[in-house]
Each structure stands twice: as structure tokens, then as C-alpha cells.
Chain A
Amino acid sequence: MSAVEVRDLVKSFGATRALDGANWCAEAGRVTAVLGPNGAGKSTTIECLQGLQRPDSGLAQVLGEDPWGASAEHRARVGLMLQDGGLPSMSTPPALLAHLASMYADPADPSALSARLGIDDFARTIVRRLSGGQRQRVALATALIGRPDVLFLDEPTAGMDPHTRLDVWEIVREQAAGGAAVVLATHSFEEADRVADDIVIMDRGRVRTSGPRAEVAGAKSLEDVYFSLTGRGER
């Protein structure tokens, strides 16, 4: 059984068909990068997998369960880093991480995580006053605090400086090495090339190709494959 499974997934918002029969899966111990232009359906897929959206039809399964209305036990096994962060604006990072850690029976150590992600440098600043990159680091820490079996990261390194980006990629690889299934939505070919074992390329609500990175790219670069599959190959 795959840790994450998406089968014939369909989701419409009014007249817009955000997902039009998408199929792919992600395995434990591997990093799966989901690539695609804006509006391809990446975020909607991930929202379905987190139980934030209910699919119109098809199957979205995480750890063998339907995420829609899943139990607290299920939610405890899934970590999530949202694009908008979702951090309470008046809280300091350590207070927030300690609070979120208290939701889990056996969480990661918040101070070790803070040190690792360089959050200590701005520990006394409330979330509202943090820079975009600092906020991203805190958001990543919130995703890791429950020591998840499945980790969803929506553009995790957007707005981060190059050093932090390298640190984050290292952490992502460690999570997979520790047995977690990591799903990473990204616009960055460099990111996908550096960290992903498997690639999923989406466009207009469908999956254009998926599989191990070497197979998807073949002899070409990931970038070339991407543009040819998402309809901009002739430019």
C-alpha cells in the first residue's frame, strides 16, 4: 500500500474543474515532488489529502484512510506546511511550537527543532513581525513537530535565502531517510532535482507524467520535460 494515493480524483469549484481525474501515489521513505503551473491542481490535491477539501469523486487516501473527517490519531501522523503559513500572528515562535507540541503524545523536541532551523535567532519576535523566510522556517517546524509519517510541504523554500534552502533540503532528505513519505509541491526544478526521488507533473487538473525522477526526465532535463508536457514546449 502506498502512503499517499490519489486515484481518479475530481474536484470542481463552480465552473472551474480544478482536478479532472488525477492519478498518482507517494511511497514511504521517498520524496515525491509535485510540479505544475499555477492552477494545475497541486494545492487542491494536497488540500484533499489533508481533509481540507472534499473531492467530488475519486479516491484520496493517506496511510490507508480517507482524510476527510479523519480522527485525531490520523491527523497526528500527518505533518503539514501550508503556503500561507497559518501561524497565529500574536505568538512568538517558541510559544507556538511548545503549544503545538502539546497536541502530540510523543512530539519532537521544540528547542532542538528551533536550533536546527535557526528559529532561535528571532525567538522573541511575534509572528506578525517576522520576514517571509523566517515565517517559512516556523511553518516548517510546525509541520515537523509531531514527527509525522507523511509530510506535506507546499512550496517550502519560497522566500528563503540560499543557505536556509540548503538546510531545508537536508531536513527533507532526513525525513524521508527516517521512513516518512514526503510530498512536496513546488515550482522549482532545482528543488525537485535536488531532493525528489519521484516526480509528478500536473497540468489543468490532470497528471501528465509520474514516476522515478530518472525515468520521468530520461535523457533530457526535468525543465525540458516539464515545458513539453505542460504545453509550452514549442516556445
Chain B
Amino acid sequence: MTTATGQRAAARGIRIRRQASFEARTMLRNGEQLLVAFILPAMAMIGLKFASVPDLGARRIDVIVPGVLALAVVSTAFTSQAIATAFDRRNGVLRLLGTTPLGRDGLLGGKTMATGFVLAFHLLALSILGMALGWRPEVAGLLPALITIVLGAGCFVALAMLVAGRLRAEAVLAVANLLWVIFLGLGLLLPTSTLPSAAVGVARLLPSGALGDGLRDAFVEGAWPVTSWLVLAIWGGISAMLATRIFRWSD
């Protein structure tokens, strides 16, 4: 029952990569994931491009596309992850995989890699669509935009684990979709400056406003949106800390 080397488990790197590819394939085959992470953002992009309200300045598309990319980040890192994790827990998948050589840390590593891969795929496709519609991002903003995306994805994955950590799977489904709509409205898709004045301050302190405005600042002006990064880091840090405390691996 033992190999020549005596090793029974596959190497750690192999285990995590195989898990990442398994999860990524599952995500990309999932119709609802595709709808929320690609089709709806793409429709928002096209709809806003050809609408005349709200007033977004002379180069409308340059303001729209970063917001759409921010929306895609939240779809993949937050909504999809929260729902998938909650149902995997209810079905005992987290329990089973935790007892294979993959283990809990390998499961987390695999999920993180898969999210990164699927997100990159959606962002690339949406960016190409944006460019076809006339989007011309500021080149100096590419690096700060990338940092914003990584920080935003990390923050929203942590929020997803917080939401998925305890609630029933059906409740997670409802909450994750509801929050997607709320985030969308509070600074994700459109600049916080277009919101009613009472909501502006709040939206800027939320991860949705921080991610949306941060990406717009980077792509439109080539700026380094340090305040947004700070907001995302604080939300992400607190969520991760709370998630590790309340997260349950089985119902």
C-alpha cells in the first residue's frame, strides 16, 4: 500500500493547483455565476454607454468601464464565493475535502487561486468589450488599478466568508444577492459623487464606494487612490478576523 518513496499524499503544490483548477472549472460552468459576474456587468456597460443619464462628463465610457470592472470583482469575489461556500458547507463538501490530503488550508488556497483566475478572465473579457466601446484607460493608472483590484478582491472574499460562515445556505443566497444590489448602488457602478448628498459620505466609507471610486481614480486620472486602499484594507482585515472566529466547516 506504499510507494517506493513512502509518500502517500501528492505534493502540496500539486494538491492546491488541482483544487484551484477544479474550482475554477466548476465556477465557469455555473450559469448563475456567469450571469452575475459577466453578463449583468456587460449589460450595465452597454446600457450606461448608450443612456444619457446620469451625467458622467465628456468621456462617459471612461467612467463607466472602471465601475463595471468593480462590479465584476464583487460578483466573483463576494456573491459567487459566499453562495458556493455556503452550499459546499451544507452539502458536507468542506468536511470531506478537509479530511483528504488537500486539507482545510489547501481548500482555502485552492479557492483563492480559482477566484483570482476566474476574476482575471472576467475582467479581461469586460475590458476588451469596454475598449470596443471606446474605453481608453490612463496608462499610468494600470498599476494602481491592479493594486485596487487585488485589495478589493481580498476584502470582498473576506466579507463573503463572513456572510457564508454561519448562516444557512438559503439565507446566504438571499443576503449575498441583496448585498450585491446594495453595493452596486452605493458607489460601485457609478461615482459616489453622483449619489444624493446624504449617501455620499457613507458610500465612500463602504468597500463598494472605495473599490468603485478607487478604480475610477486610477483608470481616469492615473491617480494612486490611497484612501480607498485604506478603507478596503480595514474592511478586509476586520472581516477576515471575524470570519476566522465564526466560520463553521460543517452545519
Residues of chain A touching chain B, judged by Cβ–Cβ distance below 8 Å, are: 50-52, 72-73, 75-78, 80, 82, 84-91, 95, 99-100, 102-106, 142, 146-147, 149, 178-179
Contacts and interface: CB of A to CB of B under 8 A. Distances in A.
Contact of A102 (B7, B10, B30, B99): B10
A103 B18 contact: yes
A99 to B, nearest CB: 5
A95 B12 CA distance: 20
A208 B127 CA distance: 67
A50 B7 CA distance: 20
B91 A84 contact: yes
B10 A104 contact: yes
A55 to B, nearest CB: 16
Nearest to A88: B93
A104 B99 contact: no
A163 to B, nearest CB: 26
Interface size class, chain B: 20 to 34
B31 to A, nearest CB: 10
A106 B100 contact: no
Given A80-B99, A88-B93, A147-B1, A75 B26 contact: no
A75 B18 contact: no
A131 B54 CA distance: 52
Interface string B186-199: 00000000000000
B96 interface: yes
A72 B3 contact: no
Contacts of A88: 26, 88, 91, 93
Contacts of A95: 22
Interface majority SS (helix, strand, loop, mixed), chain A: loop
Given A73-B101, A75-B101, 15 more contacts: A72-B9, A72-B102, A73-B9, A75-B103, A76-B100, A85-B92, A86-B92, A86-B93, A87-B93, A91-B22, A102-B10, A102-B18, A104-B8, A106-B8, A149-B1
B108 to A, nearest CB: 14
Contacts of B96: 80, 82, 85-87, 142
Interface string B74-101: 0000000000000110011101111111
Nearest to B23: A88
29 contacts: A52-B98, A52-B250, A72-B102, A72-B103, A73-B8, A75-B101, A75-B103, A76-B101, A80-B99, A82-B96, A84-B91, A85-B91, A86-B96, A86-B97, A87-B91, A90-B30, A91-B26, A95-B22, A99-B22, A102-B15, A103-B9, A103-B101, A104-B101, A105-B5, A105-B7, A105-B8, A105-B10, A142-B96, A146-B100
B91 A89 contact: yes
Instruction: Identify which of B2, B12, B22 gathers the most chain A CB atoms within 10 Å of its CB.
Output: B22
Nearest to A89: B91
A102 to B, nearest CB: 4
Contact of A104 (B9, B12, B93, B249): B9
B67 to A, nearest CB: 30
Closest 8 CB pairs of A and B: A86-B96, A86-B92, A76-B8, A76-B9, A84-B92, A72-B101, A72-B9, A102-B18
Nearest to B97: A86
A100 B98 CA distance: 12
A103 B26 contact: no
B245 interface: no
Interface string B14-42: 11001100100010011000000000000
Interface-centre pick from B1, B8, B14, B98 (highest chain A CB count, 10 A): B8
Contact of A52 (B19, B22, B26, B95): B95
B225 to A, nearest CB: 37
A142 B92 CA distance: 13
B91 A86 contact: yes
Given A73-B8, A147-B1, A103 B100 contact: yes
Contacts of A77: 8
A206 to B, nearest CB: 25
A84 B7 CA distance: 29
Contacts of A102: 10, 14-15, 18
A211 B19 CA distance: 41
Contacts of A89: 87, 91
A91 B30 CA distance: 11
B179 to A, nearest CB: 23
Nearest to A106: B3
A82 B95 contact: yes
